[in-house]
Amino acid sequence: KDDSGDVVSHLLEIETRLGKTTENVIIENWEKVFEKYRSYYFRQLEEVALKESLVTSIINSEDVYGTVWLNSYTEGRFGKKDYAIFKLLCEQIGVAVVNLLSKEALECREREALQLNKVSEAIARIDKRQDLLKIIYGYIKEIFPFDNAGLF
């Protein structure tokens, strides 16, 4: 069964609740969630006896990249005393996420530039139509995945 609707609804509720707090940290009480949502995903969490989660957004500057959840099988493990240190740790996670995304984007651009250079060099050496098709299938396919191509 597709539980995605319940999961998305729950995550949207979490984001709304986080936005209404000054700390941008909440403690999720799973008992209340299990009463509201009965789909398979939430029944699995209930079965493993999840009690509460400490939750905050991963934020860097103005951008939200996701949420961090620390889960507990013990009720009352988390409290307001934990908010400040949790928030500081998650701010560091936000910096790491931005750095990783930037690194991945740079690596992607470098791969594309290298591939475009290979295509340019190969095209400069073309002297037959068949060679052009080989370039399309051999080089261009790495940049733009396709199933078939033609020249008309």
Q: What is the C-alpha separation between 9 and 5, in angstroms, rounded?
A: 6
Residue 131's pLDDT is 82
Residue 137's pLDDT is 78
The pair phi, psi for residue 100, each rounded to 5°, is -65, -45
For 61: left if phi > 0, alpha if psi spans -120 to 50, otherwise beta; the answer is: left
- pLDDT means per 10 residues, the chain with 152 residues, are 80 89 90 90 92 91 87 95 94 92 94 87 84 80 79 74
Task: Give the amino acid at 49.
Answer: A
Q: DSSP of 47-80, one letter per residue?
A: HTT--EEEEEEEEETTEEEEEEEEEESSTT---G
Instruction: Give the pTM.
Output: 0.69
Q: What is the C-alpha separation between 87 and 85, in angstroms, rounded?
A: 5
